[in-house]
Amino acid sequence: MKIKITEQNDEYITIKIPTKSKKQKFIETEEEIAQNVNEVGKILTKDAKKKLDEVEKIANEMIGSKLVTHQTGPEGKIVKKVYIEEGADIKAEFYLGMVLDRALEMPVMMASTEGGMEIEKVAEESPEKIVKVLVDPTIGFQGFHGRKLVFGLGITDKNEQKKLINFASKLYKVYMDNDAEMIEINPLVRTGAGEFIALDGKMGFDDNALSR
């Protein structure tokens, strides 16, 4: 399978590659690409108009390679598709997810300032960096849930607080309305303009609810 790049951004292009590292680097030359293609988690080209051929080359090299992560297990998965994102003015990266706490029998929203990393690794190495917000489904997502979330993430700007609380409220609604077992946004980024954008995510659903 070949990837053909047909769109470009004046600033840069973001491309994900299958690797264990979650570092972010700027790639300037073909030599650096060759050295880092198996090391970095993201490749950002500063001048997309000149670097489209590099993105296409790297994307094609990824197809057919084996991706090994915590989710895939040691056997890994063969990469069949590559998702290329429009460049974003990233100022901060967060993790935001919604899962079911089976012990407490209610949804829990989890967030962390360690966006871009596997949440399992954060939980193991830095559990204090994970904010957990239990949401009783009989009352739903309320303002106090949102405040606990933004304060726990250290977001102090009032406008940004409102935007993230609104984002989290919509995430909870999607989770409940679609009988989801898990929704994970990683990373959720804050741009230079103070907007929150989901750059990557995945969802899992209750098999018993698929008929609906």
Q: Are 190 and 113 in contact (CB under 8 A)?
A: no
Q: Are strands 66-67 and 13-16 parallel, antiparallel or unpaired?
A: unpaired
- Quick one: which of 18, 32, 20, 22 has its CA closest to 65? 18
| Interatomic CA distance for residues 56 and 41, integer angstroms | 16
Identified catalytic residue from 54, 93, 114, 184: 184
Say whether 172 is catalytic. Answer: no
Residues 79 and 15: their CA atoms lie apart, in Å, by 14
H-run or E-run covering 172: helix 158-177
Tokens of 57: 């080359």
User: Which among 12, 54, 93, 95 is annotated as catalytic?
Assistant: 95
- Is the sign of the CA dihedral 122, 14, 47, 191 positive or negative? negative
Q: Annotated catalytic, 86?
A: no
Tokens at 12, concatenated:
């840069």
Active site members: 95, 184
